[in-house]
A = this chain, B = another copy of it.
Amino acid sequence: MSEFPITKRTTLKRGHKRANHQSEVIHAILDEAYLCHVGAKMGDRPMVQPTIHWRDGNKLYIHGSSKNGLFQTLIEGEEACINVTLLDGLVMARSSFHHSANYRSVIIFSKAQHIIEPEEKLRLLNLMIMKITPERYDDIREPNDNELKATAVLEFDITESSAKIRTGPPVDDEEDYALPVWAGVIPLSLQKGAPINDPRWENDLN
């Protein structure tokens, strides 16, 4: 396991027992999650937007319309704070105060690199498709020149990052263990349902 350097902002001031700076742990959380939340100052006000992300090595990528305001702000050099959180369970304690959640969360601080070179952009967008639908990768149409131009791809270094993880049962005050209330964890996970055919795909079959 390799450790990322711990900076002032990736030092967890509270709950430090839940902190983790191992790159393998951080990369695995990023790979499992589809969605990140990207925050930055826009003017003097805060903005947070959700978007799909993917990873290549120690870089995180997002893509979007080159006209998106937050993307423009990031391209102009505003620093991003990116959070990725997998909610793994609701932790049911015997006291209200000790209720909690099990989760795996990563926070990254990085300025964006705007990927401009078309071949690199195409390689990266193909990696996104490989993350989301590898089994269809060979059959879908790649982006054409106009689509590549309309798509901004932003790269973030993952080095200034930390994970925060909670697992396991509730931790109650000793005197509360006698209370006659169920305690434990309700697991939560993002599950895939049965695929829904595009109506026009179904019609083509008939």
Residues of A within 8 A of B (CB): 9, 13-14, 34-35, 37-41, 44-50, 52, 65, 67-69, 78-83, 85, 87, 89-90, 92-97, 99, 101, 103, 105, 107, 109, 125-126, 129, 132-133, 136, 139-144, 147, 151, 169-170, 176-177, 179-201, 204
Contact = CB atoms under 8 A, between A and B. Distances in A.
Give the number of copies in the complex: 2
Nearest to A9: B45
Contacts of A69: 13
A54 to B, nearest CB: 12
Given A35-B85, A193-B188, A197-B184, A126 B48 contact: no
A39 B144 CA distance: 36
Nearest to A90: B132
Contacts of A180: 139
Nearest to A43: B9
